[in-house]
Amino acid sequence: MYENKTIEEVCRQFECNGRTGLTQEEAGIRLEHYGKNMLREAKKKTLAQRFAEQLCDSLIFVLFAAAGISIMLHEYSDAVIILAVVAMNAVVGVIQEGKAEKALESLRKMTKLEAVVIRGGREMTVPAEELVLGDLVVLDAGRQVPADLRLVQGANLKIEESALTGESVPVSKSSTFVAASEVQVGDRKNMAFMTSYVTNGRGCGIVTATGMATEIGRIAALIHEAPEEETPLQKRLSDLGKVLSLTAVFLCALLFVLAVVQKRDVMEMLITAISLAVAAVPEGLPAVVTIVLALSVTRMVKAGTIVRRLPSVETLGAVSVVCSDKTGTLTKNEMTVTACYLDGRIREAPAIEYGKTGNRLLTCFCLCNDATEETGDPTEISLIRLAGTGGIRKEREEREKPRYAELSFDSDRKMMTTLNREGKSYVSYTKGAPDEVLKRCTSIMKDGKVQPLEGRDRKKIQEAIETMSGRALRVLAGAMAEGVTKPTEKNLVFLGMAGMIDPPRDEAKAAVEAFKRASVRTVMITGDHVDTAFAIARQLGIAEEKGQCISGAELERMDDGELKKRIRNAAVFARVSPDHKVRIVRALKSDGNITAMTGDGVNDAPSLKSADIGIAMGKTGTDVARQASDMILTDDNFATIERAIEEGRGIYENIKKSVIFLLSSNFGEIATMFAAIAAGIPSPLKSSHILWINLITDSLPALALGVDKNDGSLLMKKPPRKPGESLFAGGGWFYTVFYGLLIAAISLAAFFRVPWEVVTGRGVEFSLTAVSAVLREEAVLCRAQTYAFTVLGLSELFHAVGMRNVEVSIFRSGLFTNPLMAVAFAAGLCLQFAVTEIPFLVDAFRTAVLSPGEWGFLLLLAAVPLLAHEVIALVKTITKR
C-alpha cells in the first residue's frame, strides 16, 4: 500500500521528516508505544519439557525397565537407586544444556543487527530492534534492511530479496516510483523489506512497518531459527555410541545365555545384564561434547572471535591454510599519503607543489569521496587530509560543486565516479586503482592543460605505479571528464596519483610466524596492486619472492588444473576481484586443504560460504559478510585468527581426552564384569554400583578433561590434524584398551582379596571353587563387592588425572593447573567415601563399612593407573631424548 503513495504522503502519514528523520524524543515515545522491532522468536522450552527431553532416551527406558524388574524382585533399594541416579542424571543434563544454551544465546545477542538512522538531522547507529515507524533509515551496500521501508532517496540502489520472493537477482530500487495499483512484493520498487540485503548503491527510507507487521513477519513460518546442527564430531560420537550400544546388547545377550547355562538366578542375571549394558554405553559423551564446545565458544569471545556455528570450533583445529585480506586485517588500515605523482614526477609529501594539475587532482579526491575528515573509509579520509594540506577543503568544494549522480565504488571495477555541477556544466570525477583508471583515460592534464595521452605518458605512469607500489604504497589515481551529463568512466583525463602508506600490524608478523611453526600456510588475498601486496607480504614474512605472487589477470588465464598446481607455492593473490576468491578457495580445498578465508564486502559472501571457515570482519564487515560467515573477528585482527585456531586445536585435544577417558572407564567396567561372570563366580559389581560410577563419579572428571588448559605453544608446534582423522589416532585405541584392562585387573584383584583372606584364614587351599563357595556367604560377597566398587570408582579418578596429558608426567603438567580436575577428584573421593560410610547409602548400595586400613589399601590399588601413566611418561621422555 505504501508503494502506491508519494513520499510526501508517507511522511504525512507517519508524521516525520524525510530529511532530518524523527527526533530522538519522538522515537523514544514511539518505541514505548509500539514495542520493539523484533520477529517473534521460537518459544522457549519449559523446565518440564527439558526434563521430559532428558528422559526420552532409549537408555533411560532400559533403566526404567531395570527398576521395574527390581521392584518385581522386591529389591526396592535397587529400584530407588536406579530412579535416583536417572533423576540426578537428568538434572545434570538440564543444567548442562541450560549452560550451553546461555552461551549460545549471549553469542546471538552479540551478533544482533544494527541500523543507521537519521534522528534530529544527525546520523547515528542504533540496535535494529529500536527502530520505530517513521524512522529514517540509511542503507548502503552490504547492509541488511532492518525493517520495511518506503524509500525516499536512492542512488543505484539494488536489493536482493530472495528471502521474500525467492528471486536471487538483486532488484533495482527507485524512490520516485509510485505504483498505480496493487503490485506483488517483488515489484514494489520504492520499498525495501526487512531481512533483504543491499547489494549496490546507497539510499534511505522511512520505516513503514516493524517486527511482525513486516512482510517477512507475516510469513512467520519462515522465521523459526535453523535447527542446531550436529558437529562432525558429535555425529561421529553418536555413530560410535550406536556401535557400542549394539555391542553391549550382544554382550548382554551372551552373558544372559551363559548365566542360564550356568543355572544362575535368571531375574538377577537380567538386572546384571542390563547394568552391563548401561556400563557399555558411554552416555556422558554427547553431553560432554556439547558443553565443552559451548564453553569454548564463550572463551573465544574473550579472545575476539564470535563463533556463529558450533561445528566451526572443531574445524578450526584442522585449518591448514589461512587466506587473509590485506587491508585492515594484516595492515592497520591507517592510511597516510606520503607521495603524489603529478605532471610526470613523483613528489614526496608533505612539501608538494601542487600547481594547477595538483589542485584539480585534490578537487577530484575531495568530490569523489564519501568520507569526512574523521569518519569513513581510511583510504578516503587520507585523501581528504591530503587535500587539506594543499588548501582544499571538502565541505567548501562540495558546497560549490554539489554532487548530482554517482557510480558507487565496488571491488570489481575498483573505482568510483561522481558527477558534480561546476558553474553551468557538469564534471565527472573518477578515482580508483591506477591501472584500471589508466585503461579508461585518453588524455592527460599537464600543468593544467588537457593533452592527448601518449604511449610515453602511459609508460611513465606505469613506472611510477611500480615505484610507488614497490615502496608498499597503495596507489590511487584521479581522473575527470568535462562536458558530460552523466557520471562516466570512459575517455577520461588522467590527473595524477596519490600513494599512501598503510603499515603492517605489529602482531600480524608474529602470527604468521606462529602459523609457520604450526604448519599452517598464510595466503594474502587483496584487491591492491601486486607490488604493494608483495612489499607488505615480504615485510610480514608471508612471501619471499615475487614468483609467489599471482595477479587476478593471471588467475583469469589459468584453468582449474593449473591453478591447483600453482597454488601450492602461492602466497599472494593481488588485484583479485571477489569472485576470484571462490576459485582460490576451491583450488585450495581440492588440494586437500582445510581453508579459512576472511572477507568483509557484499561480494565476499560466496567465498566465505565456500571456505571451510568463513571469517567476517566485525568492525568493517558488512551484514552480508557476517551472515555468510562461520566466525566473526571482533577486532578485525589477523593475530586473533591464530588464537582461534589454537583454541580449536585445544578443544579437539580435550574432547579426545574426554572420550578416551570415558571409553576406557566403560571398558574397564565391562571387562571386570565379563571376566567374573565367564569364570562362573558372582558378579563383582551390583547394577547400582555401575550406574553410580558411570553417571555420577565419571561425569565431573570427564568435564574437567573437556575444559583442560593445554600448553598453547605445544599445540601450535604440531601440524594440523588431518581432516577425517579418527579420534583414536595417535595411540587412542591403545590407551583405551590398556587402561580399561588395567582398571579391570585391579578391580578384580580387590574383589578377590576378600575371599582369598577368608579362604586362607580357614586353612583351605585357594581355588576358584573355594572362592565361589565363600562368596556365597552374604557378608563376604558384600565386602568383596564393596572393595571392587571402591577401587573401580577411585581408579577412574586417578586415571582422569593422568589422562590430562598421556605422555607427560603429572608433575610436569602441574597438579593444580586444572582447578576443575582438582574439584572433580575431591568430589569423586567424597562421593565414593559417602557410599561406604554414610549409613543410609550403605544400606541402599549394600556396601560394607571399611576400616582406615582397608581404605589405605584400596586407595593404593586404585592409584595403579596413575602409576602406569607415570611409567609411560618416563619411557616417552627417555625415548624422545
Instruction: List the catalytic residues.
Output: 325
In angstroms, what is the minimal distance from the CB of 19 to ligand ATP? 25
Q: Which stretch binds ligand ATP (CB under 6 A): 11-19, 23-31, 53-61, 521-529?
A: 521-529
What part of residues 525-544 is at the interface with ligand ATP (CB under 6 A)? 526-528
DSSP 604: G
* Residues 374-403 interacting with ligand ATP (rule: CB under 6 A): 377, 379-380
Would you call 663 helix, strand, or coil by DSSP? helix
Residues 705 and 658 sit within 8 Å (Cβ to Cβ)? yes
Q: Which residues pair with 203 in a beta bridge?
A: 139, 154
Q: Is 448 left (phi over 0), alpha (psi -120 to 50) or beta?
A: left
Distance CA 512, CA 466 (A): 26
Per-residue binding letters, 329-368, with ligand ATP (x by CB under 6 A) = ----------------------------------------
**Contact indicator for 198, 140 with CB cutoff of 8 Å:** yes
CA 106 to CA 121: how far, in whole Å? 33
Q: Which stretch binds ligand ATP (CB under 6 A): 293-301, 319-327, 346-354, 755-763?
A: 319-327
Query: Torsions phi, psi of 702, nearest 5?
Result: -65, -40
Q: Closer to ligand ATP at the Cβ: 527 or 684?
A: 527
Which helix (H) or strand (E) element contains residue 119?
A: strand 114-119
Phi, psi angles (nearest 5°) of residue 775: -70, -15
Residue type, 660: I
Ranges of beta strands (E only) in 571-618 are 572-574, 595-599, 613-617
Residue whose CB is less far from ligand ATP, 465 or 743: 465
To ligand ATP, the closest distance from the beta carbon of 380 in angstroms equals 5
- Give the binding range for ligand ATP (CB under 6 A) out of 177-185, 309-317, 408-416, 867-875: 408-416
How many of the chain's residues bind ligand ATP (CB under 6 A)?
19
756 close to 766: Cβ distance less than 8 angstroms: yes
Between 415 and 800, whose beta carbon lies closer to ligand ATP?
415
CB of 540 to ligand ATP, least distance (A): 13
Q: Judged by CB under 6 A, which of 318, 416, 616, 864 binds ligand ATP?
A: 416
Q: Which residue has the cell 569472485?
A: 579
Judged by CB, which is closer to ligand ATP: 417, or 627?
A: 417
Pairing between strand 197-209 and 148-160?
A: antiparallel
- Figure out which of the listed residues 411, 539, 772, 809 binds ligand ATP, where binding follows CB under 6 A: 411
DSSP state of 695: I
Query: Please, which residue, 622 or 736, has the CB nearer to ligand ATP?
Result: 622
> What does the per-residue mask of binding to ligand ATP show for 456-475, with x meaning CB under 6 A?
------------------x-
- Rounded Cα distance, 842 and 187, in Å: 77
Q: Which is nearer to ligand ATP, 384 or 567 (CB)?
A: 384
Cell output for 311: 561445528
Residue closer to ligand ATP (CB basis): 629 or 832: 629
Please report, as a single letter, which amino acid is at residue 539. Answer: Q
Question: Shortest gap between Cβ of 326 and ligand ATP (angstroms)?
Answer: 3
Backbone φ and ψ for 72, nearest 5 degrees, come out as: -60, -35
Please state the φ and ψ torsions of residue 647, each to the nearest 5 degrees: -60, -45
549 interacts with ligand ATP by CB under 6 A: no
Q: How far is the CB of 600 from ligand ATP (least distance, A)?
A: 7
Q: How far is the CB of 125 from ligand ATP (least distance, A)?
A: 20
Nearer to ligand ATP, 598 or 785 (CB): 598
Which listed range, 290-298, 411-419, 643-651, 845-853, lies at the site for ligand ATP (CB under 6 A)? 411-419
CA torsion, ordered 457, 463, 468, 470, to nearest 10 deg: 160
| C-alpha to C-alpha distance for 104 and 38, rounded to whole angstroms | 19
Site for ligand ATP in 183-202 (CB under 6 A): none
- Binding status of residue 325 toward ligand ATP by CB under 6 A: yes
Q: Which is nearer to ligand ATP, 479 or 801 (CB)?
A: 479
Q: Choose between 291 and 364: whose C-beta lies nearer to ligand ATP.
A: 364
With contacts defined by CB under 6 A, name the span among 24-32, 427-435, 765-773, 860-868 that binds ligand ATP.
427-435
Q: Considering the complex, what minimum distance in angstroms separates the CB of residue 155 from ligand ATP?
A: 15
DSSP reduced 3-state for 594? coil
Task: Using CB under 6 A, pick the residue from 188, 202, 308, 326 that binds ligand ATP.
Answer: 326
Residue number of the CB closest to ligand ATP reads 527
Residue closer to ligand ATP (CB basis): 550 or 800: 550
- The least CB distance from residue 465 to ligand ATP, in Å, is 10
Exactly one of 16, 415, 512, 693 binds ligand ATP (CB under 6 A); which one? Answer: 415
Q: How many helices (H) and strands (E) does the chain have?
A: 35, 24
Q: Which of 255, 316, 472, 476 binds ligand ATP (CB under 6 A)?
A: 476
> How far apart are CB 603 and ligand ATP at their closest, in Å?
9
How big is the CA angle at 54 (ends 666 and 291), to the nearest 5 degrees? 65
Cα separation, 537 vs 523, in Å, equals: 9
Q: How far is the CB of 605 from ligand ATP (least distance, A)?
A: 14
**Minimal distance in Å, beta carbon 523 to ligand ATP?**
12
H-helix or E-strand containing 826? helix 819-837
Which of 744, 745, 742, 732 is closest to 660 using CA atoms? 732
For 201, 598, 681, the CA distances from 141, given in Å and listed in that order, are: 6, 18, 76
In the shown chain, the binding pattern of residues 556 to 595 toward ligand ATP, with x for contact by CB under 6 A and - for none, equals ----------------------------------------
Going by the DSSP 8-state scheme, the letter that residue 143 receives in this structure is P
Q: How far is the CB of 489 from ligand ATP (least distance, A)?
A: 11
Site for ligand ATP in 138-177 (CB under 6 A): none
Asked whether 211 and 217 are in contact (CB, 8 A), the reply is: yes
- Give the span between the Cα atoms of 857 and 836, in whole angstroms: 15
Interaction residues for ligand ATP, span 713-752 (CB under 6 A) = none
Among 2, 197, 365, 409, binds ligand ATP (CB under 6 A): 409
If phi > 0 it is left, if psi is from -120 to 50 it is alpha, else beta; for residue 663 that is: alpha
Note whether 526 and 410 are within 8 A (CB): no
Of 136-144, 193-201, 373-381, 482-490, which segment contacts ligand ATP by CB under 6 A? Answer: 373-381
Residue 242 has, within 13 A of its CA and on its CB side, a CA count of 5
3-state secondary structure of 162: helix
Q: Which member of 296, 305, 327, 551 binds ligand ATP (CB under 6 A)?
A: 327
| Cβ distance to ligand ATP smaller for residue 322 or 835 | 322
Q: Which is nearer to ligand ATP, 278 or 433 (CB)?
A: 433
Q: Measured between alpha carbons, how far is 255 from 691 in angstroms, rounded to an integer?
A: 18
Element containing residue 631 per DSSP (H, E): strand 631-633
Contact range with ligand ATP by CB under 6 A, out of 179-187, 522-530, 633-641, 732-740: 522-530
Residue closest to 293 by CA, chosen among 308, 316, 314: 314
Determine the interface stretch with ligand ATP among 182-190, 409-417, 551-559, 633-641 (rule: CB under 6 A): 409-417
Provide the β-strand partners of residue 504.
Answer: 331
Residue 432 as a binder of ligand ATP (CB under 6 A): the answer is: yes
Q: Is 487 in the site for ligand ATP (CB under 6 A)?
A: no
Phi (first) and psi of residue 110, to 5 degrees: -65, -30
Q: How far is the CB of 430 from ligand ATP (least distance, A)?
A: 8
10 Å CB burial of residue 145 (0-12, 13-18, 19+) is: buried
Amino acid identity, position 553: A
Among 50, 414, 440, 649, binds ligand ATP (CB under 6 A): 414
Query: Which residues contribute to the site for ligand ATP (CB under 6 A)?
Result: 325-327, 377, 379-380, 409, 411, 414-416, 431-433, 474, 476, 526-528
